[in-house]
Copies of this chain bind each other. A is one copy, B any other.
Amino acid sequence: MMRDRFLRACRREPVDCTPIWLMRQAGRYMPEYRKLRERYSMLEIIRAPELALEITMQPLRSFDLDAAIIFSDILPPLESMGVEVQFVKGDGPTILHPVRSGEDVERLRVPAAEEIAPYTQEAIRLASRELADRLPLIGFSGAPFTLAGYLVEGGSSRDFALTKKLMYQEPAAWHSLMDKLSQLVGSYLQAQAGAGAAALQLFDSWVGILGPADYRDYVLPYTRRAIGMAQGSGVPVIHFTTGTNGMLELIREAGGDVVGVDWRIDLGVARSRLGEGVAIQGNLDPMALLAPLPYLRQQAAELLRQADGHPGHIFNLGHGVLPATPMANVAELVDFVHTQSSRG
C-alpha cells in the first residue's frame, strides 16, 4: 500500500502525521554511500541508472522516510544544451566554457525532453517501479536562475558578480538565456513526471543573492514558466529557495504547490506571509542534526508547534544534510517527527 502522506501534504489534505524527507538524504554522511563513491565518481553514478537507483534506495533502508528523491545533480541536464560539465575533485562541479556574452547564449541549444539527462529519466523509471507500491519518488531540477548562475560564473561564487554583470549590461542576452533555461527546466521536469516521479522539486539555491526588484524583473517570469510546464504534468511541484526571506511573497508568486523555506524564518511567520493556498516544506537548521539529542528534539518540537498542525506541512531541513551528521540522529529525528505529530 502506498504511503501517501507526503503527497497528501503537498495537496494540503489531512494526514495521519507530518511527513518527513530530507534534502540530500542520500549522501556522504552514510558509510554505504561513501563506499560506493570510493569506486565511482559522482558523474559515473549519475550516468549509470542502476547505481543512481542504489543510492536513491540507501536512506530508505535506514530511515522511515516518507519520500525518496532520485539521486542526481542539477548540472548534468545542461550538457544537453551543448555545455561541458566537469566534476573536479574537491572543487565541486565546474562549467568548462562559461557563458559570458550574447554569442555564448546564442550557441546554447534547447534540447527535446528525451535528450535531457536521459540516464536520470531511466533511473526514475527504475526507482519508481521499485517504489511504486510503497513510497512516492521526487524528481528535481535546478531553477533557471541557479543554472544561469552556474553557466555564467563557471562554478560556485560568493557574489555572482559576472551573473549580475550580464544581467545589468546585456539584458537582452540575459533574457534569452533565461528563456532557454526555462524551456529546458520545464521540459526536464515534465519528462521526469512522465518517467514516474510523483512530485517535482525546483532548486533555486542561489537566487537569494538578488534583491526583490531584480528577482521580479529578471527571474520570476522564467521560474513561473518552468513551474507551469511542470504542473501541466499533473504532479505537485515544490519550489525551494534559500536566502529569500525578504521576498517570500515573490517566491510564492512565481508558483509551486509547496514552497520550501530555509531555516532562517519562523514557520508560522512564513505561513502567514505565504497565505493558505500553498503547502510549506521545512525548515530545521541542518546543524541541529549535529547537536545533542535533547536540543534536536526541542528544535523539531518547536517547528511542529510553529506549523500548528496545519496539514500543508512537509518536515524537512532548511538545506541539505551535512556530511558530519550522525546517522543515529537522522533516525531519531524521523521517528520523533512521526510520533510527535501523530494525529492517529
- List the interface of chain A (C-beta within 8 A of B): 159-161, 164-165, 168-169, 208-214, 243-247, 261-266, 269-270, 283, 285, 287-288, 290-292, 295, 299, 302, 318, 322, 324
Contact = CB atoms under 8 A, between A and B. Distances in A.
A287 B164 contact: yes
Contacts of A247: 245, 264-266, 269
Contact of A244 (B168, B212, B264, B283): B264
Nearest to A165: B290
B161 A290 contact: yes
Contacts of A292: 168-169
How many identical chains are in the complex? 2
Given A211-B264, A292-B168, A269 B246 contact: yes
Given A161-B324, A324-B161, A318 B266 contact: no
Given A210-B264, A212-B269, A244-B264, 18 more contacts: A160-B287, A161-B290, A164-B287, A164-B290, A164-B291, A169-B291, A208-B264, A212-B265, A213-B299, A213-B302, A214-B285, A243-B243, A245-B247, A246-B262, A246-B266, A246-B269, A247-B265, A247-B266
Contacts of A285: 164, 210-211, 214
A299 B168 CA distance: 11
Nearest to A288: B168
A168 B210 CA distance: 32
B211 A295 contact: no
A288 B211 CA distance: 11
19 contacts: A161-B324, A164-B291, A168-B288, A168-B291, A168-B292, A169-B292, A208-B264, A209-B264, A211-B264, A211-B285, A212-B264, A214-B285, A243-B243, A245-B247, A246-B265, A246-B266, A246-B270, A247-B264, A247-B266
Nearest to A287: B164
A165 B302 CA distance: 19
A159 B322 contact: yes
Q: Which of A208, A214, A318 has the most CB of B within 10 A?
A: A214
Contacts of A161: 287, 290, 322, 324
Contacts of A164: 285, 287, 290-291
A247 B214 CA distance: 22
A307 to B, nearest CB: 13
Contacts of A265: 211-212, 246-247
A325 to B, nearest CB: 11
B212 A266 contact: yes
Nearest to A168: B291
Q: Which of A164, A209, A245, A290 has the most CB of B within 10 A?
A: A245
A95 to B, nearest CB: 21
